[in-house]
Chains A and B, each alone.
Chain A
């Protein structure tokens, strides 16, 4: 499965367009991590717990999108876009969408 955020895949040609696919996930870290983050907040610096949380949920969203594309019979997703929003304190919603295509 090829994934790009460009409109076409260099070196390949798009043959069939299958439509829009998307994946989303909402995740939160346990309270312990949240407390750690608020302590870290006094000193400033990277909040590793939240970085991990977001990259994990991004992977999860991408894999859901890939699954949807596979069910459609596509072998690539082009023009992938990410969007992040916070639904509640300490929880993040990651939404990823793209266009499923068949390339050769």
Chain B
């Protein structure tokens, strides 16, 4: 009985996990192209020469993503042999890109985004039943310039 439950969970995780990941990557790629116009740096000062900044504000985006059951088992196996755990690599990659996108989406009119910082943590650490999830927070400072200044950065 336990074996049946285990296999069912594994199969469910495998199919839905792959489906969800593909869908998510597709939407991330699409949205990243849309937001290419907004220059984002992790520098403390604006890049290039900007027209007078009229407003600046703190913007942030966060997301919590969990890994599916199948991948968790695979990662557990990988732990025995060592090496690259690709299951978790894609997980954190998805989470980081999603968080940055959400941050960008919260300030569509910004001219430039500076001092980008990314923080990763797991909220379920210390739980008895380990939940393989990551929390990513991306934050930065959005600079707004007058819209009539057409030279954004040189």
- Residues of A at under 8 Å CB distance from B? 2-7, 9-11, 37-38, 40-47, 50-51, 54-55, 58, 62, 80-86, 88-90, 92
Interface residues of B in 45-73 (CB under 8 A from A): 45-46, 50, 52-54, 56-58, 60, 62-69, 71
CA of A62 to CA of B17 in the docked complex: distance in angstroms? Answer: 35
Q: How many residues of B contact A (CB 8 A)?
A: 51
C-alpha gap A11/B146 in the complex (Å): 12
Report the bound CA distance from A45 to B27 in whole Å: 13
- Chain B contacts for A11, CB-based, 8 A: 52-54, 56
Closest to B137 in A: A82
**CB distance A89 to B67 under 8 Å?**
no
B154 to chain A, nearest CB (A): 16
Main secondary structure of the interface of B (DSSP, over half): mixed
In the assembled complex, the Cα of A9 lies from the Cα of B54 at a distance in Å of 10
- A41 and B62: CB pair below 8 A? no
Interface assignment of B74: CB less than 8 Å from any CB of chain A: no
The 10 closest A-B pairs by CB, nearest first: A44-B68, A89-B127, A11-B53, A50-B64, A3-B58, A43-B16, A10-B53, A44-B17, A4-B141, A84-B121
Q: Which of B29-37, B78-86, B112-120 contacts A (4 or more CB under 8 A)?
A: B112-120
Work out how many contacts link A and B, with CB atoms closer than 8 A.
132
Contact between A51 and B9, CB atoms less than 8 A apart: no
Question: What residue in chain A is nearest B57 (Cβ atoms)?
Answer: A3
Say yes or no: A4 contacts B131, CB within 8 Å. no
Q: How far is the CA of A10 from the CA of B16 in the complex (A)?
A: 47
* Bound-state Cα–Cα, A92 to B62, Å: 14
Does any Cβ of A come within 8 Å of B77's Cβ?
no
